[in-house]
Structure 1
Amino acid sequence: MTPSIHLLVSSQGTVFNSWKALWVVLSDDGLEFYKKKSDSSPKGMIPLKGAAMTSPFLDFQKRMLVFKLSTAKQQDHYFQAAYLEERDTWVKDIRKAIKCLEEGCQFARKSTRKSIRLPEAVNLGTLYLAMKDPDSGVRELKLEKDKKVFNHCFTGTAVIDWLMSNNKVRNRQEGLILGTALISEGYLQPAGELSKAATEDISETTLLDQIDAFYYFADSGFYCEGNSSDEDVILKEEFRGAVVKQGCLLKQGHRVKNWKVRKFILRDDPAYLHYYDPTKGDEDALGAVHLRGSVVTAIEYVPDGLSLPHPHPTPALIEGRRPLK
């Protein structure tokens, strides 16, 4: 079976110059793309022989995490990943496949399918959903290492402990094998230099049963912050969504209940509402509202005696004086 990597990315059309979400499969000699994961045949294929990669590709002002694949026939194809680590993984594997074609060897991304035999009763997808259960699954934490803070993470030891406590494995060695399979299939992702290095190792098990080896769920809100280089900065999960709407609104303060003009930007997938000081641009958000599970209600007044600003205030009210009689 041809080795492949399955991820959802966005690619720019070469004819209509539009962006579409596609299901892309990396094989040993090309990139096949599908309209959706369940399609039996690809819509097209980009050959990798003689191709070249450009990453990061910064020509799109409003799009981040883009990389360019140029074919031997001088055709350019653009792809946008959801976050930094996803982009870097794609770029690394595509470059490896191109190099293998140049050297005449077989491309094979490291996979546990060749070295690990899992019981037929094990369903990694079902196991992953159980691990993500907010009540009984692996607990996501804010972890710190090397002056960096890793949000929505957990340790390799926590993974093994959970597998054993839920009778998924008989011992820690079996837990390492099962955890490695979850990494290989993309359900778990490494966070931090230690776990990343182990994932690239050639050993049979790449998940580390260590408290300083960090991992995260593939579709979680993981992001890293702290003292790091530009290449290592991970875009916060809340800023990944596409901008749906933006504009200025009046907003009441949390502590001092006064009203100020704020610029709001509404993003989708994930759904966040960020607000900014309109005089300082969109670089640093003053705050954010996570809209998942939120309820929006239209009201005619603000309770607790706090009222909206008068639509037509008199000069005396603006200056804080009593109106003249």
Structure 2
Amino acid sequence: METEKRGVVLREGFLVKRGHVVPNWKARWFVMMPDKLLYYKYEGGRRDSCQRGQIPLKDCEITCPYLEHENRPLVFKLRTKNGVDHFLEACSRGERDEWADGITTAVNKLQTDGGGTVANQQDPCGVHLQSVNLSKVLESMYDVHSGINMNNHVEHGSTYSNCFSGSAVVDWLVFMQLALTRVDAVTLASALLEEGFLRTVGMKSVEALRTGGEQFMDDSTALYSFSDSLKKRGIVKAETSLSAVERSGEVIKRGFLLKQGHRRKNWKVRLFVLRSEPAFLHYYDPTKDDVSPAGGFSLRGCLVSSLNDNGVPLGVKGNVQGNLFKIITQSDTHYFIQAPTQQDKVDWIEAIREQT
């Protein structure tokens, strides 16, 4: 565990932060200390030594998930003691919840150490489960402004329109303060399914219900929709068949990595998504969303190799941080990538090799 100048580092990694003055999204390197979050900028493939800002954690309030940003379901919000809101986005639900859990633990410890008591220690991504009327829950879910977002989803090459994933339903129920925990949200969603307010869509959710397994799945690849008796809400643009096939595989791994550009040779933080059957690696611009890839390629016939951090390898530009690896596609295109840590590099190389 590294130590910053002012204390012990509890956690560190990339998060995407929304700006205060200009409301755009930028990838920043965050370092969590016992009493604050520090964040830094990456320049030329290397972490800037100059701290760009900090978020004090004492008496901080956390909202997780925070679902008011369309196409950004992985955002959580921090409100400081002075009422300043910070919106942060992780690369996956697991990462989001781990950051939220760590921050909540730090905030609670600061309260306890300060002589106070923690009145309501609870799931950082949950609120109290209420007695609810299922018809009212359905009405809220269907609301055009605050209801659950419906989109196109791809499963095994087939595109399903006007639907949502099981994990999106659970996120929404927690955010709307209808459930304390994700387990409670699954119970509530199961009741909606059993009463015919929701229906299964696609193979995964249909098969789970048919075989008597999980009635409702808190899963980003299990699809559901409103019952056919409800009118369709909104119009969803159909995806192209090629894009649908490329992104129809199961998501194996997600994470922030630095990628060197092919033309300008500059380094940018990108959200990488690894899929199998078919095996593809896509990357997204985290300042936008994870709907339309900035690029990607098939892993069939690819070669992936670790690069030595001593010196600058041939083809690599800039004063890089390290943890480099290279992917050569079947068409002989070379991708140079940096992982945040040595272990991340090893994990990504192993995961990619399993798909090649």
TM-score (norm 1): 0.37
More strand by share: 2
TM-score (norm 2): 0.34
Q: Which has the higher contact order (CA 8 A, sep 6+)?
A: 2
Bigger Rg, which one:
1
